[in-house]
Structure 1
Amino acid sequence: MATQLTAINWAKVVTIALILLLIPLFGIHGQRQILYACMHISYCIWWLLEQKIYPDRCKQIFTEKVDTSAFIGALLIVGIFYSLPAILAFTNPTEISIAATATAIPLFYFGSLINTAADIQKTTEKAAGTGLVRTGIWSGVRHVNYTGDLMRYLSFSVVAGSLWAFLVPLSIFVLYVQRIRDKESSMKNKYQDFSDYKSKSFRLIPGIW
């Protein structure tokens, strides 16, 4: 039986294929489509490469087993629904504005840097036998990897140039809120210093929540 990670990996492949298919279907009208394709495809490729570079991550994330229906569900949600901004970007004939470009690029790159730095630090410290990871990039935000991921998906929506595209980061935010509740309930029981960490940090959004 496959794991959640395997299902998500295949979903990333589906996303890459879908975006590549959109190019001949709808064409390249301008910078919007080029920027979107480069950003989303590079993210998917990095997701897959990161597991080769840091194989310990495969033992730490999405290790739960999934049946066929859950596997297909992951392909549909992560592979296709999360690609909604891509479809909207390629069917948007208007030129992307300077403001949108200036917003999307920093969101994407800083989001990617934050997410990757958080993953690498946690993978390294967990492999070394560290308990609760609460230093470095994790010191101020308890789920900073989610923060970076949300920034990245927000950047896709900005490039798409449609309000409908924001359904994706909104749905991911709702999912993360539930995950945060579940994880923090578990962390409270697992780590004695979690209460102190919680009192000195934010859940997801620095300075807000």
Structure 2
Amino acid sequence: MTTQLTAINWAKAVTIALILLLISLFGIDGQRQILYACMHISYCIWWLLEQQIYPDRCKQIFTEKVDTGGFTGAILIIGIFYSLPAFIAFTNPTELSIAATATAIPLFYFGSLINTAADIQKTTEKAAGAGLVNTGIWSGVRHVNYTGDLMRYLSFSIIAGSLWAFLVPLCIFVLYVQRIRDRESSMRNKYKGFSDYKSKSFRLIPGIW
């Protein structure tokens, strides 16, 4: 058996390999393909590098054990299904619009900044022995790392240029809603100040939910 984190890491490597395969099969015909490849591959590489830069993360996230079925599921869902927008982007012959570019790039970079800042703050504070992390970037949104991640996957779908590509962020959103419910149930029992934190913050989407 291995950990969920190891399975996810392998899935990210599969995603990189799939995008490189798409490049070799379809080539890069325009801005849509080059932007998509740069954005998604750089995200996967950063995911892997972040664990080397902040090794404490490996002790804090996705530490649960998975069997062969769980490992295979991670490869199929995270490695392959989450790459659906890549396939769409590389088979989409239409030119990428200025509006799509102007929307996707800020979503990707701000999403990445939000997600990374949240990860670094939480990793650092947890390593120092903190309990409930509810300051800084975590003060207004209780699952702000998920917010950044969703922004990133939305940017991939926008670049892909098809409604079908939005199946991925939609599925991730549904997954995160379930995770949020489970985590908040646990946090309510674990942290004394959680109720007060909950009353002053949003779950996932600032100002909405």
Fold match, TM over 0.5?
yes
Q: 1:55 corresponds to which residue?
A: 55
Unaligned runs of 5+ in 1: none
Structure 1 residue aligned with 2:84: 84
| Post-superposition offset of 1:35 | 0.1
Task: Give 1:196's aligned amino acid.
Answer: D
What residue is the counterpart of 2:204 in the other structure? 204
Matched, 1:183 2:179: no
CA deviations 1:8-65 (Å, max 9, x no partner) are: 0000000000000001211111000000000000000000000000000000000000
TM-score for the superposition, normalised by structure 2: 1.00
Aligned to 2:136: 136
2:125 maps to: 125
Structure 2 residue aligned with 1:157:
157
Structure 1's consecutive aligned runs of 4 or more residues displaced over 6 angstroms after TM superposition are: none
Deviations along 1:60-113, whole A, 9 cap, x unmatched? 000000000110010000000000000000000111000000000000000000
Deviations 1:92-138 (A, max 9, x none): 01110000000000000000000000000000000111110000000
1:35 matched residue in structure 2? 35
CA displacement 1:163-191 (0-9 Å, x = unmatched): 00000000000000000000000000000
Equivalent in the alignment of 2:105: 105
Superposition RMSD on alpha carbons, in Å? 0.4
Amino-acid identity (%)? 89
Letter in 2 for 1:109: Y
Runs of at least 5 residues in structure 2 that lack an aligned partner in the other structure: none
Matched AA of 1:188: R
Separation in 2, partners of 1:104, 1:5: 28
Alignment partner, residue 68 of structure 2: 68
Distance (whole Å) between structure 2 residues aligned to residue 113 and residue 55 of structure 1: 19
Relative to the length of structure 1, the TM-score reads 1.00
Q: Does 1:166 align with 2:166?
A: yes
For 2:124 and 2:24, how far apart are their aligned partners in 1? Answer: 42
TM-aligned CA deviation for residue 193 of structure 1: 0.3
Q: Return the letter of the residue paired with 2:134.
A: R
- The count of residues paired between Structure 1 and Structure 2 equals 209
Counterpart check, 1:194 vs 2:180: no
Question: Which residue pairs with 1:23 in the alignment?
Answer: 23
Q: Residues 124-167 of structure 1, C-alpha deviation per residue, up to 9 Å, x if partnerless?
A: 00011111000000000000000000000000000000000000
CA distance in 1, matches of 2:161, 2:98: 12
